[in-house]
Amino acid sequence: MTSLTINDTPHVVEVEPDTPLLWVLRDILNLTGTKYGCGAGLCGACTVHVNGIPERSCQVSIGDLNGASVTTIEGIGTPGQLSILQQEWVACQVAQCGYCQSGQLMQATALLQENSAPTDEDINAAMSGNLCRCGSYPRLRAAIHAAAKRMAD
Last residue of a domain, one of 75, 97, 114: 75
| Domains held by the chain: number | 2
pLDDT in tens, 29-75: 999 999 999 999 999 999 999 999 999 999 999 999 999 999 999 99
pLDDT of residue 86: 96
Are 93 and 51 members of one domain?
no
In order, the DSSP letters of 59-127 are S-BGGG-TT-EEE-GGGS-BTTB--HHHHHHHHTT--SS-TTHHHHHHHHHHHHHH-SS--HHHHHHHH
pLDDT in tens, 80-123: 899 999 999 999 999 988 899 999 999 999 999 999 999 999 99
DSSP annotation of 20: B
Are 99 and 41 members of one domain?
no
Average pLDDT of the segment spanning 136-153? 96
Cα separation, 105 vs 120, in Å, equals 16
Boundaries of domain holding 31 = 2-75
Are 70 and 96 members of one domain?
no
Are 17 and 45 members of one domain?
yes
Count CB-CB contacts under 10 A for residue 111: 21
